[in-house]
Structure 1
Amino acid sequence: MFELTHQLAQNIVDRAMAILPYNVNVMDSQGLILASGEPNRINTRHEGAQLVLANHRIVELDEQAARTLKGVQPGINLPLMHDEQLIGVLGISGDPQALRTYAELVRMTAEMLVDQSRIQAEQQWRKTRCDDLLAVMLGETGGSQRLIDEAHQLGLKPHLSRTPHLIEIADGQSSAELADWLRSHYTDSWCSTPAPHTVLWCCPIAIDPQRFAERLKSQGWNLQRMASGMPCVDVHALRRCCHRIAELLAYGQAVKPYRLFLSLTRCRLPTLLWTHRAEDTLGELLVPLHNIVARDGNGQLLRTLRSWCEHNGQPQACADALGIHRNSLRYRMERIAELTGKDLSRLDDLVELYLAVQLMPSSG
């Protein structure tokens, strides 16, 4: 059964006394005063309310009747109902004859506030349960059929294809507020907040990252970085992809701190290697680039190699991006081959250089 709280009871009293020139009391299902316009009466027993509770009817008390009861003043005491159950009593102090005309309206208002409070409580429970359920489903061991069935019952639509995005916002901004905004503007979104300034957003529609960033900015959100996965057709694939984009975000923070958007599609292999950075393989891949850095005081050759990788080894596009002649580019690439000991005509050497560039922390 729904139970009145001190906070709800006081809200009823405050609302009623804002328009009534009389004191109002709200009693619980035991006849204890939960809230009153006379604070000294709170937590005292009201025998008039106990009569209402015992008889399930309105009890009017004039001065003579009130003197025979403890903790009572003249007035009208009305049953407070919720879902056809008696949950408390509403008392209005004063001459019963003067109160009859609007006592029922006051009770109706009080019962509407009770219904509103119940709805809000249910909504909060549902939100909390959905958040907890999603955290488990997208965690390391989630995705059981029981959890998926509960997700269906809660209306979370686990059958929808979703793409996970890990969004990092500026310090001082609330990830919980951003999650609420995403849910309200993108129907059927799943959101969780794994960190104070990070939101995991599983979106059922395709988005353009640049347009999305502009929309966030227009709403006052300062996007620091966003790691995006791929469309996932079921919860199991989504859980795995969420784990991957967490690694992708960590990779971006460490290696590409100035990159606003990170895509798992483009960075899958570097991210995979980054997760094994404690092993010798990563250090071995970076040795050729360290050789370049040692002999490249102004960073020209390393910038050239990065641009060459970004432009898929297309000489003219790379030269244009660097603002140099193709002959200058050719000279630089020959110098890179010399310093790294790599044959740029061999695919395996090219792949190793490409991966090394993706794993070498960038300053901009």
Structure 2
Amino acid sequence: MLTREIAQEIVFETMSRLHRNVNMMDGNGVIVASGDSTRVDTLHEAAVEVIRTGQPVIIGKDDRHRWKGAEPGVNLPIVFHQQTVGVVGITGTPEDLLPFAELVKMTTEMMIKQSYFKLQSEWRQITKDMIIQELIKPAPSDREGIQHRLDALGTDFKPPYQVAVILFPNRSSHTQELLERLEASLGTVHTISSFQHVNQLTVIFFGESEERIRSKIIRITEDYRNKAVASVAGLSSLVASIGQITHAYREAEVALRFAVKSGQAFTSYLAIETQALLYEIPADRRARFVDRLLPKVSPKMLMTLRAFFECNLNIARTAERLGIHRNTLIYRLAQIKEATGCDPQTFEEAVTLQWLVWLGGGKHRLQQGGQPRRTNFDASMPFMDRI
């Protein structure tokens, strides 16, 4: 536990405050860090005695000959998890050192403890990274390895499972800071999380209801926003087995893609599932559908259809939203029926027109000479193919 790097840091920090030489000895009594570089890698016999007995060894001027490799000063045991893991030695007159020697010992033990917890935290995060990386593969293969790592974390990884993907488009915060905020808001009992891309955080929820998970995701995006951290989240549907987590991950990415496109902070896959399923149709088949109908409608017709569908085919609400008379709206709907052969007021034909709005809206703007929507997200999203 007492590495040379930690020992050197302790020596530097302590000497900068005490202005006295400090030695750090490992569990064998060998000096591993010192203000006097010539003493590094030499045996300190007084440290060996401290490790053997667990008691301090004080060396005065007249005691130097008893301890090979020692100078006058105070040598104290460094205890971690009830074991002596090393020795800290402060060079000087013992009478001058005793008033603050115990404080040096306590500070040294605290620094070792902090280093240990940091290493533990890093190990846990690396383990989570490996688990999630395997789970989201198109065909997870190392099921035994996944379970072994989950057991090492002490995680009861029980179904159902749900995946969220959170994008930080203008990321300025450190990875650890973002993860700490997430864990402080969501807890760690029912989640594991990992940055699988430089600015994209993957969170796997387990053993919780869909309603509770949804509220948690909304809460964390609000929490990030309150901390002036821009974020966008996509959430999958629930899945029942570990093998289905890869599919949930794809759903979360699709939901995130739609959230970015629509300018929303959060989108659930279930809310856009019908739209998303359209993109399972081969691209050439979608293109033929759009190319057949799109030239028949004007931008005003598309705008009218979009408002009409968003108002659930309600004439009065649509007219109010568009700021037109209901008779004007009815006339426009009749024009759309004449132009496309599809009646917006009948269910089956309205579905066809809804597909046109979803698939052809952006393309129509470009054909009419408009500019595509600029977004900070596109370049930073590895999966951000056009939809």
Task: Give the TM-score band, short-chain normalised.
Answer: 0.7 to 0.9
Distance 1:260 1:47 in 2: 61
Q: What do the CA deviations read for 1:9-61 (whole angstroms, capped 9, x no partner)?
A: 1343345446646421102345443322x253363424435743885565544
Residue of structure 1 aligned with 2:279, choices 274, 278, 301: 274
Can you give the 5+ residue segments of structure 2 that lack an aligned partner in the other structure? 363-371, 374-387
Contact 2:11 2:33 in 1 (8 A): yes
Does residue 94 of structure 2 align to residue 90 of structure 1?
A: no
Contact 1:52 1:89 in 2 (8 A): no
Q: What do the CA deviations read for 1:175-222 (whole angstroms, capped 9, x no partner)?
A: 833333121111233322232222223454231877665443222122
Does residue 248 of structure 2 align to residue 249 of structure 1?
A: no
Structural mapping, 1:155-304, within 5 Å: 155-159=154-158, 161-174=160-173, 176=175, 177-187=177-187, 188-203=190-205, 204=208, 205=212, 206-207=214-215, 213-223=221-231, 225-251=232-258, 253=260, 256-278=261-283, 280-292=284-296, 296=298, 299-304=299-304
* 2:385 alignment partner in structure 1: none
Distance 1:104 1:19 in 2: 15
Q: Structure 2 vs 1, CA of residues 184 and 248 (structure 1 numbering), >3 Å: closer, same or farther? A: same
Distance 1:184 1:34 in 2: 38
Q: Structure 2 vs 1, CA of residues 6 and 312 (structure 1 numbering), >3 Å: closer, same or farther? A: same
* 1:312 alignment partner in structure 2: 312
TM-score, normalised with respect to structure 2: 0.76
Contact 1:167 1:198 in 2 (8 A): yes
Q: Structure 2 vs 1, CA of residues 115 and 219 (structure 1 numbering), >3 Å: closer, same or farther? A: closer
Distance 1:157 1:315 in 2: 52
Q: Structure 2 vs 1, CA of residues 338 and 145 (structure 1 numbering), >3 Å: closer, same or farther? A: farther
* Higher alpha-carbon deviation: 113-122 or 319-328: 113-122
Say what the alpha-carbon RMSD is for the aligned residues.
3.5
Query: How many residues are matched?
Result: 353
Letter matched to residue 248 of structure 1:
A
Residue of structure 2 aligned with 1:137, choices 117, 122, 135: 135
TM-score, normalised with respect to structure 1: 0.80
Q: Structure 2 vs 1, CA of residues 339 and 262 (structure 1 numbering), >3 Å: closer, same or farther? A: farther
Q: Structure 2 vs 1, CA of residues 72 and 150 (structure 1 numbering), >3 Å: closer, same or farther? A: closer
* 2:330 alignment partner in structure 1: 330
1:125 is paired with a residue of what secondary structure? helix
Letter matched to residue 74 of structure 2:
I
Distance 2:117 2:248 in 1: 35
Letter matched to residue 227 of structure 2:
Q
Distance 1:31 1:130 in 2: 37
> What percent identity do the matched residue pairs reach?
26
